[in-house]
């Protein structure tokens, strides 16, 4: 039995919009497969594709029309593997600063942080925090399946990323699958400035993901 406020009072309290007042974006007709993590920016939104790697993300206008595919001019790809494997290796977590001026990508399997302006221009790219981050995976099975197949040696890099208008907060793993603590959880939180400087490293009380 419902014991809370009546639905009409709840709607009035939180000023829910009716369906007539809400714009619904239909991305099903997009020719980009694997669309992931849409985030609003001024005049539209940005979105990444789990099946792409050269295109780091895409900028759409408010009518869901593609404005620009964004590439990183500082990334040079050695295409030793097919697109499915490389898309997994170079997949990222994405966030946007509250003022919508910066787009931040944090690598899931490569320890890279990419900082772009809202027009898709690369501002800064960070490598680290480890000096030598070596991605290992099951090469044979990955080639057979056309996707990244992890091995016991496979490491995770950044698990999550958020930003203020001044700083980037990135949860970093650095662990591999055989570690005692699951590699998708971590206590290490790094704070970077939007200029790419490391500000502080926090060790949290409990693992997060």
Q: Number of folded domains in the chain?
A: 1
pLDDT, tens digit, for every residue of 81-95? 888 888 888 899 999
In a domain, 27, yes or no: no
**Amino acid 85: pLDDT:** 86
Q: Report whether pLDDT(176) > 70.
A: yes
Spatial separation of the C-alpha atoms in residues 8 and 11, rounded to whole Å: 5
Q: What is the mean pLDDT of the chain?
A: 80
In a domain, 36, yes or no: no
Tokens of 178: 């055989």
Categorize the per-residue pLDDT at 156 as very low, low, confident or very high, splitting at 50, 70 and 90: confident
Tokens of 65: 């029309």
**Amino acid 9: pLDDT:** 38
Q: Report whether pLDDT(7) > 50.
A: no
Spatial separation of the C-alpha atoms in residues 112 and 192, rounded to whole Å: 12
Spatial separation of the C-alpha atoms in residues 171 and 99, rounded to whole Å: 22
Q: Report whether pLDDT(106) > 50.
A: yes
**Amino acid 10: pLDDT:** 35
In a domain, 40, yes or no: no
In a domain, 105, yes or no: yes
Instruction: List beta partners, residue 71.
Output: 55
pLDDT, tens digit, for every residue of 12-40? 333 333 344 445 555 555 555 567 678 88
**Amino acid 16: pLDDT:** 36
**Amino acid 17: pLDDT:** 39
In a domain, 97, yes or no: yes
pTM over 0.85: no
Domain membership of residue 155 as a residue range = 81-208
Count of residues in the chain: 209
In a domain, 28, yes or no: no
**Amino acid 152: pLDDT:** 82
């Amino acid at each position: 039995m419902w014991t809370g406020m009546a639905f009409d009072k709840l709607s009035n309290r939180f000023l829910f919009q009716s369906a007539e007042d809400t714009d619904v974006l239909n991305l099903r007709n997009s020719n980009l497969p694997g669309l992931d993590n849409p985030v609003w920016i001024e005049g539209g939104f940005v979105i990444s594709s789990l099946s792409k790697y050269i295109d780091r993300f895409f900028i759409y206008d408010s009518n869901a029309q593609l404005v620009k595919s964004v590439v990183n001019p500082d990334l040079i790809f050695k295409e030793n593997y097919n697109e499915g494997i490389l898309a997994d290796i170079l997949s990222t977590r994405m966030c946007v600063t509250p003022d919508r001026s910066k787009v931040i990508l944090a690598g899931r399997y490569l320890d890279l942080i990419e900082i772009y302006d809202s027009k898709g221009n690369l501002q800064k790219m960070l490598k680290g925090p480890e000096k030598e981050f070596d991605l290992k995976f099951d090469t044979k099975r990955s080639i057979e399946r056309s996707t990244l197949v992890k091995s016991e040696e496979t490491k995770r890099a950044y698990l999550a990323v958020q930003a203020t208008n001044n700083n980037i907060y990135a949860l970093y793993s650095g662990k591999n699958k055989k570690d005692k603590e699951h590699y998708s959880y971590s206590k290490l939180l790094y704070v970077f400035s939007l200029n790419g400087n490391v500000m502080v490293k926090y060790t949290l009380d409990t693992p997060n993901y």
